[in-house]
Structures are given as C-alpha cells and as structure tokens.
Amino acid sequence: MPLSTKLVASGFSRPVFATSPPGDKDRLFVVEQKTGRIRILRLATAGIDPTPFLQVTGLSAGNEQGLLGLAFAPDFATTGVCYVSLTDTSGASVVRRHKVSAADPNVADPAGQEILTIPQPFANHNGGWIAFSPKDKFLYIGIGDGGSENDPNKTSQNSTLLLGKMLRIDVTKDDFPTDAAKNYGIPADNPFVGKPGFLPEIWALGLRNPWRCSFDRKTGDLYMGDVGQSKFEEIDFQPAASKGGENYGWSLREGKHDFKPVPAPPTLVDPIDEYSHDDGGIAVIGGYVYRGAKIAGLEGIYFYADVTGTITTFRYDGHTLSEKADRTAELFPGTGPSAISSFGEDAAGELYLVNLIPGQLYRIEPQPSV
C-alpha cells in the first residue's frame, strides 16, 4: 500500500524521541533535547498538554548533549516508574529513575534517582537510547564511544569501559548497595559476567554512536542505527535468541570496511545494511519494525532514515534482507523534514517521524485514496 505522512503536531523545541507507555493508546510522550522537557501529546486531539510530564534538570546541553532518551517500565501502569537518559552538568551520561506524581498521572516527580553514570571524555557520541526488551524485561542502554572523532581513546573495543557498548541491566535489583551512584543489578546471563577484563554490564560492543535503536515488539529482535565516521552508515541487528557478546566492529571497521584493522581481529558481526556518504547521507537514524494495524501489507517492514531527510525501508527475516526501498518521495512528495532526529512508536504500533527543527511530529499513514 502506498504511504503518506500527516503532520500531527508542531511547536516542540528540538524533539529527539517519542514513545508511549505500554498499553496507553491515548498519549505520546515527546522528549525535548535542550529544554529537558517531556511533553504529552494527546493522540485523539493532537493537543499538547501545557504542563510538561517531566522537567529534567541538571543537564549539559551543548553539542550533542541534553535529554536524549525515555523508557517506561514494563509495569508502568501500576508503578508509574519511568527512566530517562541524559548528559549531566559534568557531561557524563546518566540514567535516572522517575515516578509519576501521586496527585497527577500526567506529571512525574522531578526528584529522580540516579541509576547509572558513565563519564564522557567529549561532548559528542553520547548515544542515549534506552528501552526495555519485550522478551526479558531488562533495560538496554546504547552508549556511544565518547567522541570526538576516529575513536581516539579506542573505547569501543576496550572491554574495561562502558563506552561504545550496548549495556543490559536489571533495574529491579541493586547489586551495589554501598554505591549510591549505581542502583541496578547485573543479569546473571549477561555474556561477560565473571570474565576477567570485562565489565559485566556489557551486552555487546563495537558501537560508535548508536543513535536510535529499537526492539521489534513482536519478535524481540534488536535493530541498531550506528552513526559512522566519514564514509559509511550502518544498521546492526541482534536476534531475540542472542546470548549477547556480539562485536559490531567499530573502530576496527566502519560498516563492513576496514577502518583501524588489527592483525588478529576478534570475530565481528557485519551490519545487515549500510550506505555510503557518497550517496548523500550524513548520519543514520535508526527506526522501527512496523507492527501497527492501519497500513495493510506493511507488517514486518523496518524503517530508518538519514538526518538529511531520506527514508528507507526493508524486510529482514534474520538471514536475508529484501524489499529495500527509498520511501522519501512517497512519504513527502514536496519538501520534507530538514533534520530527522528520530522515529517514534505509539502503543498501537503506529510509527512517527520526529523533525528536530522546527520541532514537528509526523505520523506515517496509508496514502489517501483519490
């Protein structure tokens, strides 16, 4: 079925993410990077609540920093617990826990608890994506290599650092009761638990700047959009059955291509898709597998974009990529978004495009019949 987009809402300030709590088909929560606000969009009316759901404080907001991610606990409907990822005033990457106010379900208590803090050497490549797996209910955290360019500190392949990794933690436990800055547990089946020279939080390594990842809500497969250096952008994949431990290559490789090769490299996992900057791309924006009900024939199709505005789809069965298509002209026959920052997914599985400037939200829809 041909596709189109509908401008749902505007007036946001540098939005970088949109998501809904599990089962909440009335509200979409929009993350504003520099203001630190999380805004509530009413899906039935397209109205934006005047009072933010949460005003995050203590941010550094230069360069790529700010409020970067939001994840609702799987039991949010009963606990009211959510998590945000941000860069604090020192520039460190931080995950905080917040809880909905007892007085108002549309407002969260601004007093949060720090769950995890990762020092950052530079102001870019923060990653910032966080989400709960629909399979194991653990919190996954995508962390960039810490910048600045060309992985100068070789962090992504350093197993004693959390930078340049996908992390996996249990936020229902506290394995570090004497450390006020570490309020989480380590899943017993994380791949490097008990392995000398590896931090146990690490689930996968070799990432540069995983800017927007997602779980397929039906299968549990993980898709990661990893921003390249100067030549290639890539989509990485981890099947739901994975036991973790994959190495996606940076900075030994950029995409499928040697970058800083070593004589005896570890086993590396190729991206399932890549594209060259020679084709006009600058930075990949990872998206979602469509699992909504409004667009016939789109079930199982993965969307991703480039910050420049191009939008691509494909189907991946875990082995073979097929049906790859450039959807840009179809979705935006005229002038499209100038700075796509993210995709969003609501509780019904419908997908959205987030435009950083001037702060817009588009919904992907069937093309109207003439």
Q: What is the DSSP string of 332-347?
A: -SSS--SSEEEEEE-T
Residue-level pLDDT at 64: 94
- The residue range of the domain holding 181 is 15-280
Structural domain includes residue 317: no
Bridge partners, 38 (sequence order): 31, 54
Q: What are the b/e assignments for 170-181, b being 16+ CB within 10 Å?
A: bbeeeeeeeeee
Q: For the domain that residue 174 is a member of, what is the CATH number? A: 2.120.10.30
Report how far residue 238's alpha carbon sits from residue 248's, in angstroms, rounded to the nearest whole number.
10
Structural domain includes residue 168: yes
Structural domain includes residue 242: yes
- C-alpha distances out from residue 178 to 117, 175, 181, Å: 15, 9, 9
- C-alpha distances out from residue 255 to 176, 184, 233, 293, Å: 36, 32, 6, 33
Structural domain includes residue 126: yes
Q: In what helix (H) or strand (E) does residue 329 lie, and over which residues does it extend?
A: helix 328-331
Structural domain includes residue 64: yes
Structural domain includes residue 290: no
Residues of the chain short of pLDDT 70, as ranges, are 370
Bridge partners, 49 (sequence order): none
Residue-level pLDDT at 370: 64
Structural domain includes residue 47: yes
Check residue 76 and report its DSSP letter: H
Number of domains in the chain: 1
CB 74 within 8 A of CB 132: yes
Residue position matching structure tokens 């005047």: 50
Residue-level pLDDT at 231: 98
Report how far residue 3's alpha carbon sits from residue 290's, in angstroms, rounded to the nearest whole number.
13
Residue-level pLDDT at 368: 84
At 295 the three-state DSSP class reads coil
Report how far residue 207's alpha carbon sits from residue 203's, in angstroms, rounded to the nearest whole number.
11
Structural domain includes residue 361: no
